Amino acid sequence: MILGRVVGRLWAARQAAGLTGRKLLLVRPETATGDVSPRLIVAVDGLAAGPGDRVLVAHGSRVRDLTVGADVADKDIIVGIVDDSALERSSS
Amino acid sequence: MILGRVVGRLWAARQAAGLTGRKLLLVRPETATGDVSPRLIVAVDGLAAGPGDRVLVAHGSRVRDLTVGADVADKDIIVGIVDDSALERSSS
Amino acid sequence: MILGRVVGRLWAARQAAGLTGRKLLLVRPETATGDVSPRLIVAVDGLAAGPGDRVLVAHGSRVRDLTVGADVADKDIIVGIVDDSALERSSS
Amino acid sequence: MILGRVVGRLWAARQAAGLTGRKLLLVRPETATGDVSPRLIVAVDGLAAGPGDRVLVAHGSRVRDLTVGADVADKDIIVGIVDDSALERSSS
Amino acid sequence: MILGRVVGRLWAARQAAGLTGRKLLLVRPETATGDVSPRLIVAVDGLAAGPGDRVLVAHGSRVRDLTVGADVADKDIIVGIVDDSALERSSS
């Protein structure tokens, strides 16, 4: 999984049937030093996440089946929302 | 999924049977700041996308099965077309 | 597999059912020169690893099935803990 | 899929049974600006490609099954050969 | 597949059952110019490779099934050993 920040949302004008009605969020991965990466991931949300939220994005066919459903045409899925206070960094 | 721009098209002179008749587009991933990445992806199109379009590219065997068909010899698939006005970036 | 260091732990405020009760660790991959990468991976732990541990993280659906269980909504799994003395680098 | 250039060939002195008799080519991915990347991929060829050819390399278990066969111990497969004149870049 | 150099070996103090008795090697991918990458991969060896060997590392569940066995908790597998004289680079 990656840890990231929700930085936006998008809607498709035309889309595969497997994305109809799905909420798509823009996520920037977080680096080990707490910065956001320049990389952008579009993930399917099933947890009511929103802009500014720190989220966990998992990747995989079975992750999708277990969460948003086997008929979704994507396998980057938001599987957790993490409060900023619920992350402990060690110094090592 | 990644968000990207269609920057071209290609035709194969010789190809695996699983690509015959498939439309192949060149896509450059978009970064979090809205720039295009130097990376190039070749994706199978089933949505009538074309050069200049902003698209969603999903990756996966089942994504392919759900969209362009299980007999396609690739798993990078264009699953959405996104109008420029249909993307909201938040400031966080 | 990648070799990495556990640099922290996190808890999700809201999560997919497939992560309930799972221990999630932050891991930084190690480079060939022994440095840690700026990249951050969140992995499911089933070996009682903790901050500072050097770990092996494997990725895959079946790796998950063989270790933490098929109902876990992630496929980055801690599959080994490596003592610092149990790694031999050759000079070539 | 990636687009790349065949830059060489290799033979294994010892190999898994699933590679016996397979032709292995060295491929450098091409970037969006037409340069070759420093990255090197070894792909199984079933299309009689050779050094200098511009090729499409697809990745995946089922891609392999559809092309070179399910018993091949690799899933980076050359699935197309692209003439230099058969690629159109748009300016956007 | 990637081409790489074996640069070391490691033993896990604690490990998932699926790694018990498996030989784990450290591999650095080779770039197109023949340099080694800073990236480090840990691969399961079933070919009696050793430090200094140039190897092919394939990735995938079925690659593992075809080589070291379906019960191995990793899918980066050494599938070939390449003599330095058995690699031809073309100039294109």
Per-residue pLDDT of chain B (92 residues; tens, 9 = 90+): 999 999 999 999 999 999 999 999 999 999 999 999 999 999 999 999 999 999 999 999 999 999 999 999 999 999 999 998 899 988 65
Helix (H, G, I), strand (E, B) or coil at D86: helix
Question: Do chains A and D have 3 or more beta-carbon pairs under 8 angstroms?
Answer: no
Question: At residue D92, does pLDDT exceed 80?
Answer: no
Strand partners, D30: D36
pLDDT, position D84:
87
Q: How do C54-59 and C41-45 pair as beta strands?
A: unpaired
**Mean pLDDT of all residues in D17-43:** 95
Nearest to E11 by CA among C36, C44, C47, C56: C56
Mutate to test the interface with C, among E31, E44, E74 (most CBs of C within 10 A): E74
Given CB atoms, is B26 within the 8 Å cutoff of chain A?
Answer: no
Contact at 8 Å (CB) between B1 and A76? yes
**Mean pLDDT of all residues in C74-88:** 94
Interface touch D14/E77, C-beta < 8 Å: no
- Give the pair of three-digit tokens for residue A74: 């994507």
Predicted confidence (pLDDT) per residue in A4-28, tens digit: 999 999 999 999 999 999 999 999 9
Contact at 8 Å (CB) between D16 and E82? no
Nearest to A73 by CA among B59, E5, D39, E24: B59
E31 → closest Cβ in D8, D40, D51: D40
Given CB atoms, is B86 within the 8 Å cutoff of chain A?
Answer: yes
pLDDT, position C84:
87
Q: How do C23-29 and C2-10 pair as beta strands?
A: antiparallel
Residue type at C23? Answer: K
Contact at 8 Å (CB) between D81 and D49? yes
Interface touch B40/D88, C-beta < 8 Å: no
Nearest to D44 by CA among B45, B62, E80, E91: E80
pLDDT, position D90:
86
Residues 34-53 of chain E whose Cβ lies under 8 A from any Cβ of chain C: 36-43, 51-52
B47 to chain D, minimum CA–CA distance in Å?
Answer: 18
- State the pTM of this model: 0.94
C42 → closest Cβ in A3, A61, A63: A3
Predicted confidence (pLDDT) per residue in E4-24, tens digit: 999 999 999 999 999 999 999
Interface touch C11/A86, C-beta < 8 Å: yes
Given CB atoms, is A75 within the 8 Å cutoff of chain B?
Answer: yes
The C-alpha atoms of residue E25 and residue A43 are separated, in whole angstroms, by: 34
